[in-house]
Amino acid sequence: MKSAQLEISYSVYQDSDELSESDKNLLLRAREVTKLAYAPYSKFNVAAVALLANGQIVEGTNQENASTPAGLCAERVLLSTASMLFPNIQINAMAISYDNLQGKSIAPATPCGICRQTLQEYEDRLKHPIRLILGGLEGQVFIFEKAGLLLPFAFTGTAMKKN
């Protein structure tokens, strides 16, 4: 027996002004797009904005429902939209922001578990890392060079392969 460790690297920026022009534009857009969320129950507006390899921008916001499990996260609304409108076009980067209408929106929020699973499959499928730019309406910004970093030991289709 031996023990093993995992290390996850990411970058921490003090605020959005430290970002490259392109990353900053995506995050500023995500902050703006939080206004389009439909989140009357949680009052937690989330937006995701992606830059595709063909230069197109695709956006998503959380879409809630009185029946809670019917709600969708911003990231998965974006990925479904991108997959339908631009099938097979890789996603280079995705900025995710939020507006907590009942509290502060300062620390970066990271994608939920189901979104991590969905992001990681998108990366696998198109064989391309998605850079995540995570920030609230102000404050620190985290950048992960690949969404899959947030889901070590991910369950993938490989496990279901037939012999």
Q: Which residues bind ligand THU (CB under 6 A)?
A: 39, 42, 44, 46, 62, 64, 71, 73-75, 111-112, 115
Are 20 and 31 in contact, with CB atoms under 8 Å apart? no
What one-character DSSP code corresponds to residue 38? B
Q: Of 7, 18, 64, 75, which one is the catalytic site residue?
A: 75
Q: Which is nearer to ligand THU, 19 or 132 (CB)?
A: 132
Residue 71 or 139 having the CB closest to ligand THU: 71
- CA–CA separation, 122 vs 61, rounded Å? 18
Write 86-90 long-range contacts (CB < 8 A, 24+): 86/52, 86/54, 86/56, 86/58, 88/126, 89/52, 89/53, 89/54, 89/56, 89/126, 90/52, 90/53, 90/126, 90/127, 90/128
Nearer to ligand THU, 18 or 113 (CB): 113
> Least distance to ligand THU from the beta carbon of 76, Å?
8
Closest contact distance (angstroms) between CB of 37 and ligand THU is 7
Residue 29 CB, nearest approach to ligand THU (Å): 16
- Does the annotation mark 123 as catalytic? no
Catalogue the active-site residues.
75
